[in-house]
Amino acid sequence: MPNPLHIKSGGRLVLSVPLILFMDDVSGNISKQWNKHHVVYMSNASMPREMVEKEFCIHFVTSSPHATPLELMNGVSKSVRKTMEEGVITWDCKNKTEVMLIAYNVFIAGDNPMQAEECSHAGLHCNYFRRTCNVGGTNQEKMSDSGYMNLFKCGELHTPERTLAEIKKQVELAKLPGGTEKLKGAVASSGIHDPVSMSIINHLLELGKQLRKRKAGVPAKPEAEVQVQLEKEFELALGGLSLDDHINPLLGMPGVNIHQDTPTEILHTILLGIVKYFWGLTTYILEKAQQLNLFKAWLESINKDGLNSPTLGAEYICHYKGGLIGKHFKSLAQVMPYLIYDLVPQHVLDGWTLIGELVVLLWHTAIDDVDEYLTTLTHTIQNFLSISAQCAPSILITKAKFHFLLHLPDYIRRFGPAILFSTEQYESFNHVFWLASIYSNQQAPSHDTCQAFSGQDIIKHMVTGGHWYDEKMKKWVHAGEHITTFLKAHPEQNHLVGLPICCSIDIFTQCLTGYAQLPTIPGDQGKRSKISPCIQWHLTLSATINMPGEDSQVSKRSSLYYKCLAFTTVSLDKAAVGSHVVLCVAMVDEILVPHGKHHAQHIAVHCFKFLPELHPTLHVPQLRLPETIHQLVVTPEDILCVVNVQHDCMAEGKNCKEMQHVPIQQEHVETTKMHPTVVHASTNAYLLNTHALHNYQLISAVIPKALHSQIGSSIVVDHHSL
Ligand SMILES: [Zn+2]
Ligand SMILES: [Zn+2]
């Protein structure tokens, strides 16, 4: 028996294409007036992560200012089902043959309210958190000891069948006398609410009320008669279809378990959820103690090196502390413990330390050992929930996002690193949608945007060498050489279609390991700055460091070198003099570029050593300079990346309390305005910031094994004592 797909494809190779669907609501207006559109985007989940994230690889599917999200999803799920049943014949440009594609939906990304709607859940504020599991209850139940402990566990998982049955029960309730109240009760007790069948339900409720109305002098209609008439109306409302066709289409979609295929999204749940709650709590404590200005000074002076351009503008963050966005929270999560260690109670500090650990775990781009990773993650989440319960016990009852954390390990086991189902890339794509929407005259906005995007998709397909079937020539054709090479020669257009410029790396030599910008000195009045003069080898710091096996000191003696300020590392970070880098953990002292070149040759560094224990309160590795300074001269290829190292301000009981006033810079110009910054005491005590997201893999690799096991079990919390 040949495979049925073999017959369907006519002997062609059959490939399946997993799709990620995303749905959101965006405004289609330039002004602040909210012009709500629901949009659906899609990406191909079989591509590497680096490509899935690119704007180029996100495809617009549909949008409408009128249709409800589930009505749009109904259309989308119908066309996905069609390709599943019929297949799509296309050209495999690699193997130069026709193939058949079968698309299926792997998961649906979106923010929590949208996902709740997709699951026919009554929403985040409902007593039951049941999007995925059946945990919840009335506030009274949740406040009881056993009910509260249940919030720390995953409950029984939901099935689409059960949800479907509940919705059908609700439709039946609508036919009974007193249906409105009964229905309200059913929604509240089950947490299930289906917007799609709502029109039928409302129709039945309204009709029931009219039929049962008592008029003066006319006897009430017998209940049996009312029921018969309602049934008749119900059949009519179904319009010849079954009830299933009038219920959330995602519940019955083949191959989709909507309760498990709507993974918890990390941008809204973590950054705009739990990190935001903790930020609110922390600023409340700081404000009450009137320490916000002190906090601002600390934030101003924090070492940001190695964090890959974080968004930590102290002025902005403190002024608009109630209106921060995702990238602020992402940056704050990486440095908070170093800023507030002596300003807040210990459990709030522990909360931030665990947030730091959690954020690094969830922003992993790859997972080597799934079981080990998930054990650590589950442990961290449990600890975090216990700490949150200590900080603000009611938050676990009122905020469902804390409970959602518990489901993350299962989603990661099902779909891979959490960053894959992050919606950040789709949220940025909303800007592209917006640009397409504002040029419409708004007579038929969905039609206009669909046309704009289909035109764009065709161009993207053609210029990147895609094939299409030519009806006249009866064969697969593709664009000529002048068109397919166009983007390479035009980086601006390349950028406009959302492709990365990595193909032209040789143009940008800055992107190469070892590249160093030559040092300059300001030119004479009005003239351009000049390259500063070279110095001789024997005058450099590197010449004083004896490297074993290096006996070419003599031959270098007369060579000339530029002393540069920064160079590019192996991971393409920019490391400056004074930066902390990974080789061991070291600090850069000198960067030498031979005369006439742009490529660094010798890098002088001095190394730090790890203490055998983690820091007792901050739970990060501690670094010290050894008694005899260990200096090295290495090449740029030895330096893997830049890391974030912070001063341990509480070491030896010496809090760095001293403040220094420095002038504020505005648009590259120093002003006479001053702001305070922290002066660190000269204690030999440093901390390796393991909460930094940038280069987390390289940082983790440099930490001694013994410390790793301590990080995994850092803050021991007694869950039952709560
Ligand atoms: Zn749950
Ligand atoms: Zn300090």
Q: Find the ligand nearest to 156 CA.
A: 1
**How many alpha carbons lie under 13 Å from residue 612 in its C-beta half-sphere?**
0
Cβ distance 686 to 615 under 8 Å? Answer: no
pLDDT in tens, 168-227: 888 888 888 777 888 888 877 777 888 777 888 888 888 888 888 777 777 777 788 888
What pLDDT sits at residue 616? 87
CA distance 142 to 136: 7
What pLDDT sits at residue 152? 74
Q: Find the ligand nearest to 682 CA.
A: 2
What pLDDT sits at residue 240? 77
Rounded percentage of the chain residues whose pLDDT exceeds 70: 92
Ligand 1: centre distance to CA 394 (Å):
17
Ligand 1: centre distance to CA 253 (Å):
22
Ligand 2: centre distance to CA 652 (Å):
11
What pLDDT sits at residue 125? 58
**Structure tokens given for 242:** 């079954």
Angle at 57 between CA 55 and CA 61, to 5 degrees: 95
Listed residues: CB within 5 A of ion ligand 1: 133, 135, 154
Ligand 1: centre distance to CA 412 (Å):
15
Alpha helices in 405-498 (DSSP H): 408-415, 424-438, 445-463, 481-484, 486-489, 491-496
* Helices 408-415/370-391 angle, 10° precision: 160
**Structure tokens given for 715:** 């803050």
Q: Find the ligand nearest to 130 CA.
A: 1
pLDDT in tens, 472-522: 999 999 998 888 888 888 888 888 887 766 544 444 455 688 888 888 887
Ligand 2: centre distance to CA 346 (Å):
19
Ligand 1: centre distance to CA 110 (Å):
18
ipTM rounded to 2 decimals: 0.88
Ligand 2: centre distance to CA 294 (Å):
14
DSSP state of 666: E
Give the number of other CB atoms < 10 A from CB of residue 239: 8
Q: Find the ligand nearest to 680 CA.
A: 2
Q: What is the mean pLDDT of each run of 10 residues along the chain (722 residues)?
A: 84 91 83 84 89 88 88 86 88 90 86 79 61 66 70 75 83 80 80 79 84 75 82 82 80 77 87 93 93 91 86 89 91 93 90 94 91 92 89 80 88 90 86 86 87 91 90 91 85 80 49 82 76 85 75 66 90 89 90 88 92 89 90 90 91 78 85 87 90 90 85 57 48
Annotate 357-388 with DSSP letters as a single string: HHHHHHT-S--S-HHHHHHHHHHHHHHHHHHH
Ligand 1: centre distance to CA 357 (Å):
22
Q: Find the ligand nearest to 686 CA.
A: 2
Ligand 1: centre distance to CA 135 (Å):
5
What pLDDT sits at residue 453? 93
Q: Find the ligand nearest to 403 CA.
A: 1
Alpha helices in 128-256 (DSSP H): 139-143, 145-150, 160-173, 179-190, 198-212, 223-238
Enumerate long-range contacts of 505-514, CB under 8 Å, 24 or more apart. 509/598, 510/568, 511/568, 511/572, 512/568, 512/599, 513/568, 513/569, 513/570, 513/572, 513/636, 513/637, 514/567, 514/568, 514/599, 514/600, 514/635, 514/636, 514/637
Task: Find, among 114, 377, 160, 193, the residue nearest to 260 by Cα.
Answer: 160
CA distance 716 to 210: 63
Ligand 1: centre distance to CA 378 (Å):
14
Q: Find the ligand nearest to 400 CA.
A: 1
**Structure tokens given for 286:** 């700081």
Ligand 2: centre distance to CA 150 (Å):
42
Q: Where are the domains of the chain?
A: 4-110+424-500, 139-252, 266-422, 513-648+685-712
Ligand 1: centre distance to CA 566 (Å):
49
Q: How far apart are the first and last CA of the chain?
A: 63
Ligand 2: centre distance to CA 647 (Å):
5
Q: Find the ligand nearest to 150 CA.
A: 1
Q: Find the ligand nearest to 658 CA.
A: 2
**Structure tokens given for 377:** 């993650």
What pLDDT sits at residue 718? 53
Ligand 2: centre distance to CA 570 (Å):
30
Kindly list the distances between the CA atom of residue 173 and the CA atoms of 167, 214, 252, 603, in Å, as whole numbers in the listed order: 10, 21, 22, 77
Q: Find the ligand nearest to 684 CA.
A: 2
